[in-house]
Chain A
Amino acid sequence: MEKMYFSNPVFNAGKNLTVRRGIKWNLHDSQQVIIYDVNIPKALYFDVVIKTEVMRFCDLEDQMLVDEHDPLGRTYFSLFAEMYKIYPEFDAREIVTLVYFDLGCKK
Chain B
Amino acid sequence: MKILFYTAIYGTRDVLVREHPDLPNCDFLCFTNTIENKNLTNWQSRIPHNLVIPNYSNYSEENKNIRFAKYFKLHPYLYKDYDYIIWVDANAQFKENFNLDALINTLGENNISTFKHPMSKSIFDELSLYLKYPKPDKEDPSVILKQILRFVMNSYNCYDNFIPATGAIVTRQCKAIIPFYDFWWRIICEQSHQDQLSFTYAADQTNTKFSTILGDVWEGKGMFFEEYIYQGNPWFTFNLHSA
Contact = CB atoms under 8 A, between A and B. Distances in A.
A53 interface: yes
B48 A54 contact: yes
Contacts of A56: 53, 71
* Chain B, interface residues (CB within 8 Å), range: 10 to 19
A93 B75 contact: yes
Nearest to A55: B52
A12 to B, nearest CB: 21
Interface in B65-101: 71, 75, 77-78, 80
A23 interface: yes
B146 interface: no
A52 interface: yes
Interface in A55-79: 55-56, 59
B49 A54 contact: yes
A95 interface: yes
A55 B71 CA distance: 10
B18 to A, nearest CB: 24
A93 B54 contact: no
B209 interface: no
Interface residues of A, number: 16
A28 B50 CA distance: 9
A94 B78 contact: yes
A95 B52 CA distance: 10
A23 B46 contact: yes
A2 interface: no
B53 A55 contact: yes
A52 B52 CA distance: 10
A45 B154 CA distance: 55
A82 interface: no
Contacts of B50: 26, 29, 51-54
A53 B46 CA distance: 15
Nearest to B47: A26
A82 B180 CA distance: 27
Interface string B226-243: 000000000000000000
Given A93-B75, A95-B75, A59 B52 contact: yes
A85 B51 CA distance: 25
B52 A26 contact: no
B48 A91 contact: no
A91 B53 contact: no
A26, A29, A52 interface centre (most CB from chain B within 10 Å): A26
A54 B51 contact: yes
Nearest to B175: A91
Closest 8 CB pairs of A and B: A55-B52, A53-B50, A23-B48, A54-B51, A54-B48, A26-B48, A53-B52, A59-B54
19 contacts: A26-B48, A26-B50, A51-B50, A53-B51, A54-B48, A54-B49, A54-B52, A55-B51, A56-B71, A59-B52, A59-B53, A91-B78, A93-B75, A93-B77, A93-B78, A93-B182, A94-B78, A95-B71, A95-B75
